[in-house]
Amino acid sequence: MKKERVVVKIGSSSLTNQQGSLSREKLKQYADEIIRLRQAGNEVILISSGAVAAGFYDLGYPSRPVTTAGKQAAAAVGQSQLMQAYNEEFSRVNIACGQLLLTRENFANHSQYQNAHSTITELLHRQVLPIINENDSIAVDELTFGDNDMLSALVAGLVHADTLLILTDINGIYDKNPYEDPEAKKYHFIPSITNDLMEQAGESSSSVGTGGMRSKLKAAGTAIRLGTRVFVGRLGSGHRLEDVLSGKGDGTYIGVPGGDVVNNKKQWIGLHSVIAGAVVVDEGAAKALLRSGKSLLPAGIVEVQGHFSAGNVVDVYDQKDQLLGRGQVNMSAKELQAVKGKSSAEAASFTLTSKSEVIHRDNWITTVRER
């Protein structure tokens, strides 16, 4: 079988017992499966939830805390316990673990984003198992990944994973929440994420899960757009992750193997960068960007919004207010005000840059998703 680069995401609901705290037995089951997957020659990156679950009891809470401060403190206690548990399991077979705790801000900063990529690549190169979680203890409410489903999709994109396995407490995606409607029907394969599907997906029914199926679908949509196929499902006892990889998993497969990979610069522009302003373009420029794969030139700009600098990322709209995509500009908003609508030859004398494009096609991406 082909060796794959696989991102495995394990949700809190799959790692906890009935009281909502960490289950060592369950954690061991996943660790054993990851060991098998690696022994079969696959590269694995683990995104593990469970820090809050692992920590709340020692912190003195009777159940999972609901306040931000409570969750952040529980994660501080639980993250080290989670890593200790993984270290104990993986060290039995001499697999070293490397921990990365990430925040949205790390991804928004281009050099930190590149560093995260280099670190994960080096860990894989040295056969170390990267174990990633959100840095819950310091993440600011408005600036989180939302949940680890989205974090796992973004990491899958970052490392150009072949497959993302989102392992959860239910055996796939249904047309309704099966805990609320016993008539719900399961999807075995979903080619792409539609609005109808998003509407059918509900919140989590468990007391420990964060985003429910909705967040898994959103994450899956991002992953397949970045070239990674996705599986959402359960790892029952005796089930093998290798079987899941070969299409025999108890769950739902989303997208197909071998999707078009989006390079990291474009991913960063499309998904992580801070949007500093916007430009509105005419029909010809929209066509050049969307259909001909060309760069954006001053002649196509009709309006400039905001106060951005050269090197910033801006949203690009058509004149019907439709978001077309985003790109990194070679000129400041001030320069663009001066050159908009002008031919490149005319524009040259108004700008500080030697570049004739407003946005080079290498620094442009059509909309991945609204932010």
Ligand X SMILES: Nc1ncnc2c1ncn2[C@@H]1O[C@H](COP(=O)(O)OP(=O)(O)O)[C@@H](O)[C@H]1O
Ligand Y SMILES: N[C@@H](CCC(=O)OP(=O)(O)O)C(=O)O
Which parts are annotated binding residues for ATP?
9, 168-169, 210-216
Cβ 13 to ligand Y, closest distance in Å?
6
Using rule CB under 6 A, residue 23 touches ligand X:
no
| Region near ligand Y per CB under 6 A, out of 33-41, 49-57, 254-262, 304-312 | 49-57
Work out the number of other CB atoms within 10 angstroms of the CB of residue 179: 14
Select 24 or 355, whichever has its Cβ closest to ligand Y.
24
Query: Can you give the length of the chain in residues?
Result: 371
Using rule CB under 6 A, residue 147 touches ligand Y:
yes
Q: By rule CB under 6 A, what string of x and - marks binding of each residue 122-161 to ligand X?
A: ----------------------------------------
Using rule CB under 6 A, residue 49 touches ligand Y:
yes
> How far apart (Å, rounded) are the C-alpha atoms in residues 23 and 319?
55
Using rule CB under 6 A, residue 250 touches ligand X:
no
Q: Which residues pair with 18 in a beta bridge?
A: none
Cβ 178 to ligand X, closest distance in Å?
6
Q: By rule CB under 6 A, what string of x and - marks binding of each residue 319-348 to ligand Y?
A: ------------------------------
> How far apart (Å, rounded) are the C-alpha atoms in residues 149 and 219?
6
| Region near ligand Y per CB under 6 A, out of 46-54, 101-109, 256-264, 344-352 | 46-54
Work out the number of other CB atoms within 10 angstroms of the CB of residue 351: 20
User: Which entry of ligand Y, ligand X, none binds 295, CB below 5 to 8 A by partner kind?
Assistant: none
Cβ 218 to ligand Y, closest distance in Å?
12
The only residue of 20, 157, 211, 249 in contact with ligand Y, by rule CB under 6 A? 211
* Contact by Cβ (8 Å): 360, 330: yes
> How far apart (Å, rounded) are the C-alpha atoms in residues 94 and 86?
12
Torsion angles phi and psi, residue 278, rounded to 5: -150, 155
Select 56 or 308, whichever has its Cβ closest to ligand Y.
56
| Region near ligand X per CB under 6 A, out of 7-15, 25-33, 272-280, 340-348 | 7-15
Q: Which residue has the tokens 């705290």?
A: 21
Contacts (CB under 6 A) with ligand Y, residues 148-187? 148
Element (H, E) at 100: strand 97-102
User: Which entry of ligand X, ligand Y, none binds 75, CB below 5 to 8 A by partner kind?
Assistant: ligand Y
* Contact by Cβ (8 Å): 132, 47: yes
> How far apart (Å, rounded) are the C-alpha atoms in residues 68 and 282?
46
Q: By rule CB under 6 A, what string of x and - marks binding of each residue 199-238 to ligand X?
A: -xxx-xxx--xxxxx-------------------------
**Amino acid at position 184, single letter:** A
Using rule CB under 6 A, residue 13 touches ligand X:
yes
Q: Which residues pair with 166 in a beta bridge?
A: 9, 232
Q: How far apart are the first and last CA of the chain?
A: 38
Element (H, E) at 254: strand 250-254
> How far apart (Å, rounded) are the C-alpha atoms in residues 108 and 278?
18
CA nearest neighbour of 154 among 120, 204, 205, 192: 120
Under rule CB under 6 A, how many of the chain's residues touch ligand Y? 17
Site residues (CB under 6 A) for ligand X? 11-14, 168-170, 173-174, 176-179, 200-202, 204-206, 209-213
Site residues (vs ligand Y, CB under 6 A): 11-13, 49-53, 75, 133-134, 136, 147-148, 209-211
